[in-house]
Structure 1
Amino acid sequence: MGDMYALDLALNLRATVPSAVLDELRWHLGTASGPGEGTTGAPAEELAGPDDAFPLLAERGPAWRIGGLLVGELHRTDCGWALTARQEVHAECLSDLDPLLEQLARHSSAEGVIGQIRFYEDHVPELLISESGTLVRMALEPDEVRAVQAHQPR
């Protein structure tokens, strides 16, 4: 049994997001060496800072435990920035992930679901929601899901 979590993010960031936040996000995506240091193209493993931090959204290719692919993309849009990421995160890294998720919620351009996280063996995720710039986690209960499915036409 592993301690992996499936993390899925899909959100837009406002055009006013500070450059330091974008630099940190790029570092987590593995496309920059760190805040204020510019793009290096170095592998994610080489980007760890002095405190042994490492990029949380930098893996690419087939997922080890959660199936599908690991991705992470940040693109400029007419209204700001678009971020999509799908990653495997070890349980020991969840405390490092929380500040990043809080920052993303703070700079999200819309209210509502910005992603989800679930233990890889679970069937039901916990939603990550931006409410007035605050990260809110909403645990979904399997019984609630079954009740909704029971009312859907076949």
Structure 2
Amino acid sequence: MQVFLRSGRGELAHLVQSADPDLDRLQGRRDDRPTRPTYRPAGSSSWSGTSLSAPLAWSLGRLVTLSVADHRVHRVSDLYELMIAVDVRDEISATELVELSWHLGIGPQPESLAIVTRFPVVVEDDDGIPVIEDDPYPLLAGRGVGSRVGGALCSALASRADLPRKGWSLMSRQEIHPDEFEKVGELLCWLAARAHETHLREDGAIGIGFLRFYEAEVPDVLQVENGQVGWPT
């Protein structure tokens, strides 16, 4: 599970928890002394070098780290173009439709969530005490200009009431970082489970769109198989 850390001042950083016993060695550490992780304020393009309190990080587990050297820290050079185009069956409830519209950025946030239910963040209060809170955000709601993939980011949802195959058709073009694969994948798996049979491939996978690394010229087919999105490894 990926967790995000936010201080009482509203600064946001990505916090990675790993069960890998070799994590210290992979990051070049030569002893067992805890390091003081650094954070990057939200919206900043460079690391501030400011240290978070050691109890905040280490209270979440011995192997919690946040470091510039860690390859899992957000980097602009890791962005992908995500293109989703799915026709879903007429099996979505009114409350699910509201939640889906919110994820696409075309509707308000519902009072409760049923599609993707957990958005954990670690909040450091003014006393430096870490508390895990839920901070939901829409997953496919990007708008405006793509910073790396070019073109415009957008999402849409249309009724298929007048077509033989009833239901809803949706599309979304987003700029996505691998750190977002897990949460976006939960939504895509939910969509795939309700997709029309036209999305079913010969191998049993469900085609839901395309994914392109921002430097690549040709996208890869994105599909869901056995409840898992085929993200690049």
TM over 0.5: yes
Residue of structure 1 equivalent to 2:222: 128
Give aligned pairs, total. 126
Task: Indicate yes or no: 2:167 matched with 1:80.
Answer: yes
Stretches of structure 2 that go unaligned for 5 or more consecutive residues are 1-75, 113-132, 202-206
Partners of 2:104 and 2:229 lie apart in 1 by 23
AA partner of residue 128 (structure 1): L
Contact 1:108-1:130 at 8 Å conserved across structures: no
Shift of 1:123: 3.5
Contact 2:185-2:228 at 8 Å conserved across structures: no
* Residue in structure 2 matching 1:56, options 116, 139, 142: 139
Residue of structure 2 equivalent to 1:94: 181
Residue of structure 2 equivalent to 1:26: 101
| Matched residue SS, 2:86 | strand
Residue of structure 1 equivalent to 2:193: 106
Task: Indicate yes or no: 2:81 matched with 1:6.
Answer: yes
Question: Larger % of helix: which?
Answer: 1
Higher relative contact order (CA 8 A, sep 6+): 1
Shift of 1:19: 3.3
Shift of 1:20: 3.8
Structure 2 CA distance for partners of 1:68 and 1:34, relative to 1, 3 Å: same
Measured against aligned partners, the alpha-carbon deviations of 1:66-109 in whole angstroms (never above 9, x if no partner) come to 01111100111121101011010122211111101101101111
Contact 1:116-1:125 at 8 Å conserved across structures: yes
AA partner of residue 67 (structure 1): G
Contact 1:106-1:135 at 8 Å conserved across structures: no
| Matched residue SS, 1:2 | helix
| Matched residue SS, 1:127 | strand
Stretches of structure 1 that go unaligned for 5 or more consecutive residues are 38-49, 140-154
AA partner of residue 209 (structure 2): G
Cα-Cα RMSD: 2.5
Give the percent of matched residue pairs that are identical in Structure 1 and Structure 2.
38
AA partner of residue 106 (structure 1): A
Partners of 1:7 and 1:69 lie apart in 2 by 12
AA partner of residue 125 (structure 1): P
AA partner of residue 180 (structure 2): C
| Matched residue SS, 2:155 | strand
TM-score normalised by L of structure 2: 0.47
Partners of 2:101 and 2:139 lie apart in 1 by 10
Partners of 1:118 and 1:53 lie apart in 2 by 26
| Matched residue SS, 1:24 | helix
TM-score normalised by L of structure 1: 0.69
Partners of 2:181 and 2:229 lie apart in 1 by 15
Partners of 1:138 and 1:59 lie apart in 2 by 20
Measured against aligned partners, the alpha-carbon deviations of 1:39-64 in whole angstroms (never above 9, x if no partner) come to xxxxxxxxxxx623321211222211
Shift of 1:130: 5.1
Question: Based on CA coordinates, which of the two structures has the bigger radius of gyration?
Answer: 2
